[in-house]
Amino acid sequence: MKAAVTVSIIFITGLCYYAMSSNNPDWSGNGNRCVGDCYESWLAENGSVVQQEKIKQIAAASSSPAELGETYYAQCIGCHGAQGGGGIGPALTGDITSKLEAYRAGETRGKQSMLMWSVAKPMTDSDINNLAAYVKTF
């Protein structure tokens, strides 16, 4: 027991020493600082955050449901595959809308339901419909 504690203390001390010796003393806390002329130049090129958000909303309004659903599908690829054919999770078949609505309501639809509850819970009805429209394009 004492040996394990001693080894742990030595390891933690070494880790702290390494972390502290690797610090850059010239680092000021934000390497990507953009103030003054830099910020004015950025604003002229990109517009304000509010203007950027309005542009995104206009683009979203002119997009099809499938195009909007493609954005959400990025978080599905890891389990369901790039074309919804399955992998860790099952293949995406049938009525995706009703399945996502059931997961959002906390219903159990299989062994991996718990994984889907946290994914579907924050989705709005339009998010679910858009994602289902995108999945139908496969």
Q: Is residue 75's pLDDT more than 70?
A: yes
Q: Return the CA Rg of the chain.
A: 24
Q: Residue 89: name the closest of 60, 59, 106, 112 by CA.
A: 112
The pLDDT, as a whole number, for residue 81 is: 92
Handedness of CA 34, 36, 38, 40 (dihedral sign): positive
H or E segment and range at residue 53: helix 49-61
Structure tokens at 73: 């599908």
The pLDDT, as a whole number, for residue 109 is: 84
| Whole-angstrom distance, CA of residue 116 vs CA of residue 122 | 11
The pLDDT, as a whole number, for residue 22 is: 65
Handedness of CA 32, 33, 37, 42 (dihedral sign): positive
Which residue would you say has higher pLDDT here, 23 or 48? Answer: 48
Reported pTM: 0.57
Q: Is residue 5's pLDDT more than 70?
A: yes
The percent of residues above 90 in pLDDT, for the chain, comes to 39
Per-residue pLDDT, averaged over 80-100, amounts to 92
Which of the four pLDDT bands, split at 50, 70 and 90, describes residue 106? Answer: very high
Question: Domain 65-135 in CATH: superfamily?
Answer: Cytochrome c-like domain (1.10.760.10)
Per-residue pLDDT, averaged over 64-81, amounts to 89
